[in-house]
Amino acid sequence: MIQVSKNELGATLEKAAIGQGYDQGTGQWLSSVVLQAVQVDLPAAEWAIEALRHKPEPPALKNTSLGWQCHNYSVLVAGPLLTDLVMSGEPLNGEGFVKLDVPDLWRHLLTTKFKQKCGAVDIQPATWKELNTLAAKTYVPATDESRARGAG
Amino acid sequence: MQASHQLKNAAIARHSSELMRLSRLGSAFPTRLSFMRVLLRDLAVEGVKVTRPRWDINEDGHGQAVYSLTCGKHTYSLVAISTPLADKDRSDRVIAEAWDAAFVLYDGIPSKKEVERIALSAPHQEACRYSEKELTLSRANKSGRLFKEVVDALSSGRQPDAQMIGQIGYLMRTTAVYGNGKFGISDRDRFADRQNMTKPFQAEMLTVWLVRAFTHDLVEHIAAARSTHAVKLDRHLKRYLGIGNATGLGMAPFLVSHPQLLNAWATAREHALVRVLNSTRDIGQALEEKASQVQKHLNAWNVDDHRQMERIEKLREEFSMLDLNVQTWASLWHQTEDLSFECQELVQAILIDLNPELVDDLAEELGSNLPLAWHPEETVNKLLSDIENKYSWALGYDFSSRKETALFWYTSEEKLEPRLGRRFEEPGAEKERPLDIARQVQSLYSMLQTADPDQKLAFFFVENPSHRAIAARIQTCRDLPFAEIQDNLIAETTLPIDMLRFKLAMFGANKFDPKSDLWTRITLFQGAPLIDDDDLGADWSFAVL
């Protein structure tokens, strides 16, 4: 295991999500959910990379298959849009949605602000490497011109 | 400054549309609310004493040193690792592989074993991983010319050339001071609730202040090793020697990605200004004495950059024309209404600096723990209303024009830091970072106008997920008047140097010396108290030699 700081993990996750083809909002969401989960020692980084490996295609965004099943935390890793719907308080059986019965416990988890835990996060080296590889997809190589301008 | 005549009971002197423009932010000066000044005042209140428990430096100035101080229940130590560096390898750019010295701010007093661990990693900077015991990571290069002059002079038993010290102003310059979790060092969260660390960037500023002390000790040590006739550096000259810094694009997006902090900083400055303008406190001789010092400071501020030098010359002239024989602080302020932004911001800094008892408590408001807001239960209509009320500044740009979209921000593969590209000339725009706030707001606004006004945002963003992030930003910033830079940051005319200057002024830097539109040299802690001065809280603004 290697230790990474929470700030470093969050920034890398956000970039990794974008590198995997998600929009910025999803990247922010994934980052925030993972950082929240690590506060209570959930293996968040591991299921975050699992989530990124199984990026759902756009049609799946409208139903409950949006969530990635991993360990017992399927709601926490449900996509941000589904999370929004749960938090909106609206019944989720309207047009375009598969009927979703959200257990109270899950709803509670989604809306709970966990007590802040200080300290670095232990992460498998292979997972960290994979996240950084995804994040690297968002980087732009320098050109001779940009280097010359001091912007390389 | 239309509003400044009606300040009674007002919380701010200027509207955000006036204050939060790049051109004004790019004219900012440091004040008593700048982080370096706040740090030293807080250390003074604590009665902090700096010790040097380790000094294993050889006659060439290479080796290891440790400086320690205790604040409240915690001790912090600067670990300095000085290594040989060929002149050809000395670079101002953040992109380099070797430096004259590397530093970490260590949480506690490091054991010999810990110093050895740091000595193996810190000289390699980004290429290594660090632990939670390291609060910051930094490096610095000698100012070749001045470092040599000072060592030569001291070892010859004389003081160095004061004119050269005045021109250069530092013995070493840093090219990066990393904090908040970079490369495995400690997250700021881990120590942000400690005494003296609650305000922003205090660990980074403490690092630089101690690095400055190391540079002073280093020249005296090398000189003493060379000659038994060596003398100590005159304390007045020593105090004038700060730490140089070269700062570029990597720092610029911070103000955009931390809107809550930007709001806190600008609000504190405005509140300070309003308090002073509403004050009837006697001006006495303080203004004239400070003005005389400021004029000398401005006369010593000379740069190669043509644009900035013109601004400085105009500032000197405008400042010299001000009538200092005024009865109220507001009378001085009103004289600047038709003058340059540089002059307005300078006078604001002077007003704040001369009224410590009115403004110092505002330093407590420089931080922000406000989280990103998100209310998916709100309606399309509410978000439309938020944009019209708070983001109208973003709706006027014509983003079909190449001039308004000429630039794009990206992350450099080479340095993993933000950079600025030319959209129509360089590759990479498909990986653009979302600093185009005005364009995103406009795009969202257009989409919202075609939606059902009563639809909840949760449902709207199922169909339009790519705009969810900017919506959350709008909800976060709608009650924060100074959270946004009210300019199009991808326009052809954007000058990143303006963003740098505001942030650096908040740090407390002075002698801004732009080297292009993209980066600047500055001096940190110039004129500041030395680590063994009796009064660390003494005023050191607008240092003069």
Give the DSSP letter string of B348-371. HHHHHHT-HHHHGGGGGGS---PP
- Tokens 């009378």 found at: B331
Buried b (16+ CB within 10 A) or exposed e, B299-311: ebbebebeebeeb
C-alpha dist (Å) from residue B117 to B18, B76, B99, B111, B131: 51, 17, 18, 10, 11
Confidence tier at A104 by pLDDT (50, 70, 90): very low
pLDDT tens-digit profile of B342-359? 999 999 999 999 999 999
Phi/psi for B68 (5° steps) reads -130, 150
Return the residue in B132, B197, B249, B412 with the most chain A beta carbons within 10 A, the one to mutate for interface testing.
Answer: B412
Question: At A68, is the pLDDT very low, low, confident or very high (cuts 50, 70, 90)?
Answer: very low
For residue B538, name the pLDDT band (cuts at 50, 70, 90). Answer: very high
Query: In the structure, what pLDDT confidence band is assigned to residue B207 with cuts at 50, 70 and 90?
Result: very high
What pLDDT was estimated at residue B231? 98
Give A19 or B44, the one with higher predicted confidence: B44
Read off the tokens for B91. Answer: 């670079």
> For the segment B268-293, what is each residue's pLDDT rounded down to a tens digit?
999 999 999 999 988 988 999 999 99
User: Looking at the complex, does the CB of residue A125 fall below 8 Å from at least one CB of chain B?
Assistant: no
Q: Which residue did the predictor score with more confidence, A47 or A63?
A: A47
Specify the pLDDT at position A83: 64
- Contact at 8 Å (CB) between B509 and B177? no
Cβ contact, residue pair B129, A150, below 8 Å: no
Q: Chain B contact for A25, CB < 8 A?
A: yes
How far apart (Å, rounded) are the C-alpha atoms in residues A61 and A67? 9
Task: From chain B, pick out residues whose CB is under 8 angstroms from the CB of A3.
Answer: 129, 131-132, 184
Closest partner residue to A90 among B426, B458, B472, by Cβ? B458
Q: Do A88 and B458 touch (CB under 8 A)?
A: yes
Per-residue pLDDT band at B242 (split at 50, 70, 90) = very high
The shortest C-alpha distance from B188 to chain A (Å) reads 9
Closest CB from A6, A7, A139 relative to B416: A139
Looking at residue B95, its pLDDT comes to 64
Q: What token pair was written down for B239?
A: 């105090």
Q: Which two tokens stand for residue B90?
A: 């000395």
Note whether A24 contacts B: Cβ–Cβ < 8 A: yes
pLDDT at B475 over 60: yes
Residue A85 has a CB neighbour count (10 Å cut-off) of: 25
pLDDT at B336 over 70: yes
Cβ contact B420:A150 at 8 Å: no
Cα(B489)–Cα(A139) distance, rounded to whole angstroms?
A: 20
User: Residue B131: what pLDDT?
Assistant: 93
Nearest CB to B419; choose among A8, A138, A151? A151
pLDDT tens figures, B188-205: 989 999 988 999 999 999
pLDDT on residue A118: 63
> Does the distance separating the beta carbons of B516 and A140 come in below 8 Å?
no
Q: Is B125 a residue whose pLDDT tops 60?
A: yes
Could A151 and B414 be called an inter-chain contact, meaning their C-beta atoms sit closer than 8 Å? no
pLDDT at B466: 79
What are the structure tokens assigned to B422, written together? 């030319």
Burial class (CB in 10 A: 0-12, 13-18, 19+), A148: exposed
Cβ-contact B406, B240 below 8 angstroms: no
Compare B330 and A23 and report the one with higher pLDDT. B330
The per-residue pLDDT of chain B, averaged, comes to: 93
Tens digit of each residue's pLDDT (9 = 90 or more) over B406-422: 999 999 888 788 899 99
* pLDDT at residue A109 in the model: 45
Residue B39: closest CA among B503, B273, B261, B360: B360
pLDDT above 90 coverage of chain B, percent: 83
Q: Is A140's CB within 8 Å of B372's CB?
A: no
Q: What is the CA radius of gyration of chain A?
A: 17
Q: Does residue A95 carry a pLDDT above 60?
A: no
The residue ranges of every structural domain in chain B are 2-30+253-368, 35-248, 380-477
Using CB atoms, which residue from B95, B410, B518 is nearest to A149? B518
Min Cα separation B493/chain A (Å): 16
Q: Which residue has the higher pLDDT, A72 or B262?
A: B262
Tokens 């009563």 locate to: B454
C-alpha span between B476 and B374 (Å, rounded) = 7
Is the pLDDT reported for residue B211 higher than 90?
Answer: yes
Percent of chain B with pLDDT over 70: 97
**Of B315, B319, B348, B311, the residue nearest B513 (C-alpha):** B311
Domain extents in chain A = 2-140
pLDDT at position B458: 82
Task: Give the pLDDT band of residue A80 (cuts 50, 70, 90).
Answer: low
pLDDT band at A56 (very low <50, low <70, confident <90, very high): low
Contacts of B139 (CB under 8 A, 6+ apart): B99, B101, B102, B103, B122, B123, B125, B174, B175, B176
